[in-house]
């Protein structure tokens, strides 16, 4: 049993699943609208520079916000929880996978799905940005180091959210309730828990923004990775006479995100292994 075999089976299960394609289309439609608005205002409005590369990367990667991560999580929940409701997880193990191998297949799904979704979003963004990009009069590289760092952070936020989804699906084992729990948690649950915890342990308030949902959602923000955007924001604030904004450290965010991701993958495995199939 090799990782390749696991990947091949996950590929069959995933790509033939109609629910996956529906979810992907929804994501592309939402992101497509965002990109199209920016594209058309670049055409019709003289004050707005057209969407173009390389300066459009921050927009393409950052403007969809947490959408790709959330849709990635939905797909992970759908694909993992149904293995329990159809009892195919059971059959996979009967057919000869160890529980570790079965779970490893699902773990592969998380970065795989994140890469695929991010790739689609980027491809769509590039499609809108290419008409405005004069490839012949490019002076620097098409993709800068800041762009790569940002893309990596967006990918990590998607992987993190996917790991959280895998954990929830491994515990709840049923897609409806798992989905509900996931959305409740990222929309209110986490803040609620943080506020509650802070009442008893005041120190929690200081680190509440390192809660996993916060980290995964906030780290996909362009300004954290582009010094030029930060300088512009500081200049605008000073112009208004306001205090200069402070930006979270990218290194710390990435470190915390990696930590939470590892935690969710491990906790999901322990929850999965403990129970009968």
Q: Which residues bind another protein (CB under 8 A)?
A: 1, 5, 8-9, 12-13, 16-18, 86-88, 90-98, 276-277
Name the residue nearer to another protein (CB basis): 16 or 199.
16
Residue 174 structure tokens: 């049923």
Alpha helices in the chain (DSSP H): 3-15, 18-44, 57-62, 67-85, 88-95, 99-129, 145-172, 175-184, 190-200, 204-207, 212-218, 227-239, 250-274
Name the residue nearer to another protein (CB basis): 7 or 181.
7
CB of 163 to another protein, least distance (A): 24
CB of 236 to another protein, least distance (A): 52
The answer to whether the CB of 226 falls within 8 A of the CB of 150 is yes
Name the residue nearer to another protein (CB basis): 74 or 118.
74
Name the residue nearer to another protein (CB basis): 8 or 236.
8
Angle CA 75–84–7, to nearest 5: 55
Name the residue nearer to another protein (CB basis): 97 or 107.
97
Alpha helices in 86-189 (DSSP H): 88-95, 99-129, 145-172, 175-184
CB of 165 to another protein, least distance (A): 20
CB of 98 to another protein, least distance (A): 5
CB of 158 to another protein, least distance (A): 25
């Amino acid at each position: 049993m090799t990782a390749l075999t696991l990947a091949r089976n996950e590929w069959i299960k995933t790509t033939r699943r109609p629910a996956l394609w529906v979810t992907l289309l929804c994501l592309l439609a939402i992101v497509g609208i965002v990109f199209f608005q920016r594209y058309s205002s670049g055409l019709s409005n003289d004050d707005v520079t057209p969407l173009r590369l390389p300066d459009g990367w921050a927009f393409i990667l950052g403007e969809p916000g947490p959408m790709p991560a959330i849709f990635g999580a939905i797909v992970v929940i759908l694909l993992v929880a149904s293995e329990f409701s159809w009892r195919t997880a059971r059959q996979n193990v009967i057919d000869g996978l160890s529980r570790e191998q079965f779970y490893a297949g699902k773990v592969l799904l998380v970065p795989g799905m994140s890469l695929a979704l991010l790739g689609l979003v980027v491809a769509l963004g590039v499609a809108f940005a290419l008409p405005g990009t004069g490839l012949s009069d490019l002076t620097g590289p098409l993709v800068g180091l800041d762009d790569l760092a940002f893309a990596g952070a967006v990918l990590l936020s998607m992987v993190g959210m996917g790991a959280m989804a895998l954990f929830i699906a491994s515990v709840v084992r049923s897609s409806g309730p798992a989905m509900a729990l996931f959305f409740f948690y990222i929309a209110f649950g986490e803040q609620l828990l943080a506020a509650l915890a802070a009442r008893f342990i005041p120190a929690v308030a200081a680190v509440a923004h390192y809660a996993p949902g916060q980290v995964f959602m906030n780290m996909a923000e362009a300004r954290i990775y582009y010094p030029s955007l930060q300088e512009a924001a500081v200049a605008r604030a000073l112009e208004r006479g306001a205090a200069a904004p402070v930006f979270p450290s990218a290194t710390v965010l990435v470190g915390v995100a990696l930590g939470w991701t590892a935690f969710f993958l491990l906790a999901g495995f322990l929850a999965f292994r403990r129970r009968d199939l």
